[in-house]
Amino acid sequence: MNILITGASGFIGKNLIAQLKNELEIDEIYTYDINTEPYLLDNYCRDADFVYNLAGINRPSDNADFMKGNYEFIVTLLDALKKHKNTCPIMLASSIQAVLDNPYGKSKKAGEDLMLEYSKDTGAKLLIYRFPNVFGKWCRPNYNSVVATFCYNISHNLPINVDDPNYILNLAYIDDVVAELIRVTKEKENRKGVFYEIPVVYRVALGELASQIYSFKDSRIYMTIPKVSDEFTKKLYSTYLSYMQEDSFSYALKMNFDNRGSFTEFIKTPDRGQISVNVSKPGIIKGNHWHHTKHEKFLVVSGTGVIRLRNIYSDKIIEYFVTDEKMEVIDIPVGYTHNIENLGKTDMVTIMWANEFFNRDKPDTYYMEVSI
């Protein structure tokens, strides 16, 4: 199967190309954009089995260029297909603005009408998508995407403008768009009609969008992570991270040192507890306390040691010998005093999860020796 993608160097084009070969059995992907030698379009239209027409202009210096990029190019594309009598399916990237009375919308509607006429005359399958605002990695910031602009500017400590915080945006995520485009290419049965929709579109107020992206930036300060069980939040956070400066991928954590080793809080979540990293020096015992409600999980990832537990109303001591050679999670139930001892000759590293944030005002931690 040979695929022709026009506008291949654009936002949607780059994401589509990155995924196509993972999903379809493809012989060739022909990529065409503004810098491609024009004669190649003729060759590609001769051999293509499917065309994704993503080429277009949405913010030219002159309004007259809207028609040039969104209509006249389609004329050129269709003429090349007609020349070779190639009636392969065509996907057209249009816009929700095609129903609006503005230069961009008019040019998109003109392109749709031309495609519809071509499909009627030739019988070629046509798939028209009126895309909402699409967001995701590799979208150009400070151009025509508010999500890209907000993510880039906030991650680069630049200002953003929120003229109307209550303005509602309709947003589609790039992976959902790509999945839909590939899905219809795979379809063996033709669906009725030529207008198609992206299955998942999110509605979000502009002010809420800005606040959420600012919270992603602040998450490093507070060691939190977004609520990724919410699909939109998960996708928006992934998008935000793709716009960070390359020299700012890392960030330091506050390590609490003493003669026993160190303790470092790593991640805090509002509904899934806290993860920390504990380092114990050889021969050191840490802990000897119990909790009413705080429940913990210990996982030794480097070194060798023993975890001891005792119900505060019992004399029985339970021991779990732990090592990085056999990773094993130990649950620390409430009402059990517990400690962890490094039995090795090197530092022992333990990942610790607790079901709640550490609260200095209400630590729910009570000293009691495990040994009697």
Assigned token pair, 115: 């495609």
pLDDT of residue 296: 98
Say what the pLDDT of residue 132 is: 95
- The reply to whether 2-211 and 255-367 are identical in fold is no
Token output for 189: 């049965």
pLDDT of 332 reads 98
Q: Where are the domains of the chain?
A: 2-211, 255-367
The pLDDT of residue 80: 97
Say what the pTM is: 0.90
Average pLDDT, rounded, for the chain: 94
Q: What is the pLDDT of residue 290?
A: 98
∠ Cα 118 123 126 (to 5°): 65
For the domain bounded by 2-211, which CATH number is listed?
3.40.50.720
Residues involved in catalysis: 104
- Alpha carbon of residue 83 to chain centroid: 42
Instruction: Convert the pLDDT of each residue in 51-67 to its tens digit.
Output: 999 998 777 777 777 88
Residues of the chain with pLDDT under 70: 188-191
pLDDT given at position 188: 60
Tokens of 282: 């050889």
Q: What is the pLDDT of residue 190?
A: 64
**pLDDT, tens digit (0-9, with 9 covering 90-100), for 241-287:** 999 999 999 999 999 999 999 999 999 988 889 999 999 999 999 99
Contacting residues for 116 by C-beta, under 8 A, at least 6 apart: 126, 128, 194
Q: Which two tokens stand for residue 271?
A: 């509904």
**CATH T-level fold of 255-367:** Jelly Rolls (2.60.120)
Looking at residue 166, its pLDDT comes to: 98
